Homo-oligomer: A and B are copies of this chain.
Amino acid sequence: MPETHHREFSELPITVDRELDAPLPAQIAAALREAIDQHTLRPGEAVPASRELARRLGVARGVVVSAYEQLIAEGYLSASHGRGTRVHPELEGLEHSTHPQLTEQKPLSKTTVIAAHTPAGTRPLSPGLPDTSAVETQAWRQAWRSAASHAHLEAPELGDPLLRSEIAEHLRRMRGTTRPAEDVIVTAGAREGLSLLLSALGTTRGRALTVGVEDPGYPSLRKVAARHGAHIVALPVDAEGLVTEQLPSGLLDVVLVTPSHQYPLGGSLPLARRRELLDWARRTGAVIVEDDYDSELRHSGSPLPTLAALDDRASGSVALLGTFSKTVSQALSAGFLLVPENLRRIVEPARRDLGGPVSAVVQAALAEYLASGELRRHTARMRRRYAARRELVVERLFGTPGIRVRPMSGGLHAVIELLQGSAALESLVVTRSDHLGPIPLSAYWHGQGTGTGAETSRYGLVIGTGGSLDESQFDAALRELREILTRTAGF
A456 an interface residue at 8 Å Cβ cutoff?
Answer: no
Contact with B along A140-167 (1 / 0, CB 8 A): 1100110111111111110000000000
Q: Decide if A431 is an interface residue (CB 8 Å cutoff).
A: no
A192-B357, A227-B353 as given contacts; A152 in contact with B132, CB under 8 Å: yes
Residue contact B331 to A195, C-beta cutoff 8 Å: no
* A361 contact from B151, B332, B357, Cβ within 8 A: B332
Q: Which of B229, B354, B362 contacts A359 (CB 8 A)?
A: B362
Whether a CB of chain B sits under 8 angstroms from the CB of A191 is yes
Classify chain A: how many residues form its interface, as a range. 35 or more
Chain A interface mostly: loop
Contact present for A154 and B229 (CB under 8 Å): no
The yes or no answer to A329 lying at the interface (CB within 8 A) is yes
A333 in contact with B357 given A188-B188, A203-B227, A362-B362 (CB within 8 Å): yes
Query: Is A226 positioned at the interface, with any CB of B under 8 Å from its CB?
Result: yes
Scoring A132, A148, A149, A199 by chain B CB atoms within 10 A of each residue's CB, the highest score goes to A148
Check: A51 CB closer than 8 A to any chain B CB: no
Q: Mark A268-308, 1 if CB is under 8 A from B, else 0.
A: 00000000000000000000000000000000000000000
CB atoms of A140 and B132 under 8 A apart = no
A135 CB within 8 Å of chain B: yes
User: A333 touches which one: B229, B329, B359, B468 (CB < 8 A)?
Assistant: B359
Q: What is the CB-to-nearest-CB distance from A136 to chain B, in angstroms, rounded to a whole number?
A: 5
Residue of B nearest to A359 (CB): B333
Complexed CA–CA distance, A354 and B354 (Å): 15
Kindly state whether residue A490 has any CB partner on chain B within 8 Å. Answer: no
Distance to closest chain B CB from A116 (angstroms): 10
Report the Cα distance A362→B332, complex, angstroms. Answer: 9
Sort A-B residue pairs by CB-CB distance and give the 8 closest, nearest first.
A144-B148, A188-B357, A154-B330, A331-B360, A120-B154, A191-B355, A357-B357, A151-B329
Binding site for B on A (CB under 8 A): 119-120, 132-133, 135-136, 140-141, 144-145, 147-157, 188-189, 191-192, 195, 199, 202-203, 220, 223-224, 226-229, 328-334, 350, 353-362, 365, 468
